[in-house]
Amino acid sequence: MKIRVNRTVVEIFDGAKSQHAVLRYLAHRRLPKSLLTSGRIYDAYGHEIGLDAPLREGQTIKFKK
């Protein structure tokens, strides 16, 4: 399924969690995986979500370091 992280579309497996999308985003941007633990993840409405938040096709999330 395709998820938009910041302004980048990443493709992840069905049933993936927000942490999987952010890890794919970090790999795409060639950033260290360690940023996952220090950053925050938000949904399209600006609400903070956890690393284990389920995602659905076409969803937009934001990752802030």
Quote the tokens at residue 20.
Answer: 């999987």
For the stretch 10-45, pLDDT in tens is 999 999 999 999 999 999 999 999 999 999 999 999
Domain interval for residue 17? 2-64
* Number of domains comprising the chain: 1
Taking the whole predicted model, whether its pTM rises above 0.75 is answered as yes
Residues 6+ apart with CB under 8 A from 33: 23, 26, 27
Q: How far is CA 49 from CA 24, 25, 30, 41, 44, in A?
A: 17, 16, 23, 6, 10
CATH code, 19: 3.10.20.90
